[in-house]
Chain A
Amino acid sequence: MSKVWKHRPPAAFRLDHGRVIVGKTRKTSPSSDHPVQPTQDAEFEALAITIDDSARSSRRGLSWGVLFWLALGGLLLLAMGFAITGLITGLFARNQELGWIGLALAILAALSLVVIGVRETIGLMRLATVENLRERAAETILGNDRVEARALVRELLHLTRRMPRLARARATLEGHLAEIIDGGDMVRLAERELMTPLDQQARKLISAAAMRVSVVTALSPRAVVDLLFVFGTALSLVRRLGFLYGVRPGTLSLARLIRHVVMHLAMTGGLATSDSLIQQMLGHGVVAKLSARLGEGVLNGLLTARFGLAAIDIIRPLPFAALPRPTLGDLMSEVLGSFGGGEERRAPPESNLAAADVQLCGLKSLADSKSVKFTS
């Protein structure tokens, strides 16, 4: 539609021009009598960034289930309040001092409950923020929106402000904010700067957890023990990953996080089958021939690693765009490489075949050491 576009005639202003009023009286600037002001540090897009809560919970309506739990919760709360009030009045009736102590304890409990509640809520919100960030980042990369990318990076900087190891990266990134960089490039840049050290650490965490699970399963005397151990390791793994990427989950948000991870695993499980599950099963089969326990250990380790990778997908505030997504083969070659001595560790991560070879090598040497141990 070739309508007349909104246009203003060109002009040039001398910097000491009198008629022009100061641009952008945003803050009380020292040179506010100066007619023209250079824009500093991309102030032009200093948007008030608020977290959009509407995107978080798309379905708002009360379902019967929710109503039931709410009602039940209310009832329980009433019962508890009633019981506690009864208890305190009872205490007062018996002894004045005892009553005061009871009251103080009750108040203390209520206070800490409130604090815990607030923290949990904040934790949940933080988790939602991270998920929201990731979605927006993916959209920004597609849409190449400059303003949105800048807002996003500011939020990321805020999210990561408590991570001392990112101080330098944050400073670099803040410097880049003032430059003219397109939206998609900006997000990728942020990912490269901020996520590289975190990804490395996350990889280490996962492979350590996987290794522990493998060893414990292979050595544990009872199935119950390793079941508990696997569960505990997975829990602590997700928690530590959460702290690593800035989610800092509390109890509730950890529960929610784990639910999301499990859902994510269920959804992407099919996808992952094609690339590495066959290879895993093959490896497992071979090892199981050597020793049933050992095979179980390896399988549990693999599952833990897979769980950790799924958790990264959920916890990481940016999607994998500029950096490669860590793969299972990648991690396992690290784990098993450390089992079988250092030399295989340098295998190029992208070649799945090589990783599989390493895996088998590592397993073999593991098997050797095991058999020695068992025979002795």
Chain B
Amino acid sequence: MPDLIEQIRLATQALAEFGVHLFNPTIRLGVTGLSRAGKTVFITALVHGLVRGGRFPVFEALATGRIARAYLAPQPDDAVSRFDYESHINALVDKRSWPTSTRQISELRVVIDYQSLSEYQRTLTLDIVDYPGEWLLDLPLLTKSYEKWASESLRLSRQRQRADFAKDWHSYLSTLNPEGMEDEQQALTATRLFTEYLRACRDNNYAISLLPPGRFLMPGDLANTPALTFAPLELSGEGPPPAGSLWAMMRRRYESYKSVVVRPFFRDHFVRLDRQIVLVDALAAINAGPEALLDLEQALGQVLDCFQTGRKTILSALLRPRIDRLLLAAAKADQLHHTSHDRLETILKRVTEHAMARAEVAGAQVDVVALAAIRATREATVRRGRQELPCVLGVPIAGETMAGEIFDGETEVAIFPGDLPNDPDDLLRPKNRSRGSISSPQSPDFRFLRVRPPLLEFTEKGGPALPHIRLDRALQFLIGDRLV
């Protein structure tokens, strides 16, 4: 029954928007990705390129001069904060530092005045929605019961790498009796330990992706509310919990987390998207080894399952908006020499193949691209002995290490990150390989260094044009067809 009401609500909302869009063509572009995938940088570079006129040869409308101008306009949703484009661009250009991670959902509206191919003056409104990657991981919870979620979380936390971080929480968990009386203090402590475990997973070098519920790590204004005070319990059986027990309390709070946090997010933002780009930091996962990569595969699979993809029809536009173009982007491709980009794309395809197949069957267009929204490196060749290594030149962020060397964030070095395999399965299933662990700290196969934003070149207009890799191709795919 609540489902039906929800559906009706979504349909009404879609109908109202359809009417508005009839007179004022609008694209809602969702920029998503797990945290640290580079969403904020992507949006900043995209808006900068549109507004200031970047070097986008492949983005046809801009390259041929059909876009008369693009400018920022007040956003439509009053309850959502504005994407702080100006301070992000300042941080990038002046301080040469990457923007801090997104803490809340934000939105930006860009209005594009262009001339269509049939010579009419038109306007396209582009709404860009940015939100923390962690929140995405909540979407799969909508269809999960508390019991299922608890058992899955526990199973995950007992896996090899995670078990170390979860030690405290596990030992506290064994003292709890789910069927005992409900106790606020117990719930608080369990939540605190559980959150610490999640945070440890996120902050370590292993780049673990699958960490629901996301709001525990980015609570926003809901911190310390009961809706965010619950944790998985060691449950013996299924079935309804005894009234007044700890189990029942946790279960109730889990449900209210879904209805207070997850569902509004899903309804107000996620479901209204027309175009979607999913940024994936595959390199960080490859850096961390096969487990992180498998983790990423699972997380992406769950996230991509939430998208409503499919061909756009009049009926779907009226009742249920769909994403008709989905772009999977391996971000930070500038940490690799361009000759390896195809392999990076293959790896991303392999990691997301199920989701891609599903979207394609539904009629949506799916593309995979290795991109760097802001290119922070140049390319070089280094000869080592008889080998010629394709390298990238860049200034590693202070504190990055490679082979025992710690970089100070000022010197430029040539980085050879290692050869990616032709077959992505070599990365996912290291057991097949004759050598030992894929990324043992002593002799890692890969090391992708994070580098600082580039010193910027100036165009004849005076403003710095941000260098990029295939950002124009991404734009062409995402909005190019609406600008003809």
**What B residues does A10 contact at CB under 8 A?**
402-403, 415-418, 444-447
Chain B residues in 8 Å Cβ range of A182: 470, 473
Known: A8-B418, A12-B449, A192-B63. A1 touches B379 (CB 8 A): no
Judge whether B425 and A2 touch: CB under 8 Å.
yes
Question: In angstroms, how far is the closest chain B Cβ from the Cβ of A376?
Answer: 39
In the complex, which residues of chain A have a beta carbon less than 8 angstroms from the beta carbon of B224?
A: none
Contact of B238 with A by CB under 8 A: no
Check B341–A180 contact: CB distance below 8 A: yes
Asked whether B381 lies within 8 Å of A12 as measured between CB atoms, the reply is: no
B412 at the interface (CB under 8 A from A): yes
Q: 1/0 per position for A1-41, CB-CB distance to B under 8 A?
A: 11011111111111100001111100000000001111100
Expressed in whole angstroms, the Cα–Cα distance for A146 and B434 within the complex equals 33
Q: Tell me the smallest distance from the CB of A38 to a CB of chain B, in Å.
A: 5
Q: A24-B381, A180-B338 are in contact. Are A12 and B426 (CB under 8 A)?
A: no
The answer to the question of B421 belonging to the interface, with a C-beta cut-off of 8 Å to chain A, is yes
Residues of chain A lying within 8 A (CB to CB) of residue B422: 5
Instruction: Give the chain A neighbours of B470 by CB distance below 8 A.
Output: 180-182
Q: Is there a chain A Cβ closer than 8 Å to B190's Cβ?
A: no
- A4–B389 contact, CB under 8 A? no
How does the 8 Å CB contact mask read for A168-196 relative to B, with 1 for contact and 0 for none? 00001000100111100100110010001
Determine whether B432 belongs to the interface, using a CB cutoff of 8 Å to chain A.
Answer: yes
Interface residue from B57, B390, B413, B446 paired with A15 (Cβ < 8 Å) = B413
**Number of chain B interface residues as a range:** 35 or more
Q: Note all chain A residues with C-beta closer than 8 A to B260.
A: none
Is A107 engaged at the interface, CB distance under 8 Å to the other chain?
no
Known contacts A20-B383, A44-B381, A180-B341: A348-B118 contact under CB 8 Å: yes
A11 touches B393 (CB 8 A): no
Interface size band for A: 35 or more
Interface presence of B200 (CB below 8 A): no
Q: Is the CB of B433 within 8 A of A2?
A: yes
Chain B CB within 8 A of A322 CB: yes
**Contact yes or no, A6 B416, CB < 8 A:** no
The residues of B that contact A176 with a CB separation of less than 8 Å are 57
Number of A-B contacts (CB under 8 A): 135
Say whether A139 faces chain B, with CB atoms less than 8 Å apart: no
A188 contacts across to B, CB distance below 8 A: 58
Find out whether the CB atom of B383 lies under 8 angstroms from the CB atom of A38: no
Instruction: Bits for B388-424, please: 1 = Cβ < 8 Å to A, else 0.
Output: 1111010010000011010000011111111101110
The yes or no answer to B380 lying at the interface (CB within 8 A) is yes
Q: How far is the CB of A18 from chain B (nearest CB, A)?
A: 13
- Please name all residues of chain B whose beta carbon is closer than 8 Å to the beta carbon of A2 when the two chains form the complex: 423, 425-426, 429, 432-433
Does the CB pair A36–B421 fall under 8 Å? no
Q: Of the candidates A21, A23, A346, which one forms a contact with B380 in the assembled complex, judged by CB atoms under 8 Å apart?
A: A23
The B24-52 residues at the A interface (CB cut-off 8 A) are: none
Does B426 contact A180, Cβ atoms closer than 8 Å? no
By a CB distance below 8 angstroms, the chain A residues around B58 are: 181, 185, 188-189
The verdict on B155 contacting chain A, using a C-beta distance below 8 Å, is no
Query: Complex: how many Å from CA A150 to CA B429?
Result: 36
Q: Counting CB contacts under 8 A, is A350 at the interface? A: yes
Contact across chains for B60 and A322 when beta carbons are under 8 A apart: yes
- Chain A residues contacting B445 (CB-CB under 8 Å) are 7, 9-10
B469 interface hit (Cβ, 8 Å) = yes
Question: Chain B: which residue is nearest A324 at the CB level?
Answer: B117
Chain B residue contacts of A146, Cβ below 8 A: 338
On whether the beta carbons of B380 and A38 are closer than 8 Å, the reply is yes
Q: How far is the CB of A208 from chain B (nearest CB, A)?
A: 23
Give the docked Cα–Cα distance between A186 and B365 (Å): 21
Shortest beta-carbon distance from B420 to chain A in Å: 8
How many angstroms from the CA of A37 to the CA of B434 in the assembled complex?
35
Nearest CB on A from B205, distance (A): 15
CA distance A35 to B378 in the complex (A): 16
Determine how close the nearest CB of chain B comes to the CB of A45; give it in whole angstroms: 9
CA distance A341 to B111 in the complex (A): 38
Minimum CB–CB distance from B403 to chain A (whole Å) comes to 7
- In the complex formed, the residue of A with least CB distance to B447 is A10
Least CB distance, B310 to chain A, in whole angstroms: 25
Q: Is the CB of B415 within 8 A of A8?
A: no
Q: B449 CB to closest chain A CB, in angstroms? A: 7
CA distance A210 to B288 in the complex (A): 67
A5–B426 touching, CB < 8 Å: yes
Measured between alpha carbons, how far is A17 from B380 in the docked complex, in Å?
14
- Beyond A2-B433, A6-B419, whether A22 also contacts B405 by CB under 8 A is no
Q: A4-B434, A12-B413 are in contact. Are A192 and B419 (CB under 8 A)?
A: no
A13-B391, A39-B380 are known contacts. Are A7 and B419 too (CB-CB below 8 A)? yes
CA distance A23 to B320 in the complex (A): 56
Interface residues of A in 28-61 (CB under 8 A from B): 35-39, 44
What are 12 A-B pairs with beta-carbon distances under 8 A? A10-B415, A10-B416, A11-B384, A12-B416, A12-B447, A13-B414, A14-B411, A15-B393, A35-B382, A37-B380, A38-B393, A44-B379
Which 8 pairs, one residue from A and one from B, show the smallest C-beta to C-beta distance? Answer: A23-B381, A5-B421, A10-B418, A7-B419, A2-B432, A10-B447, A13-B414, A36-B414
Given A24-B388, A44-B381: 8 more A-B contacts, CB < 8 Å? A6-B419, A10-B417, A14-B413, A36-B393, A172-B57, A179-B57, A181-B58, A348-B118
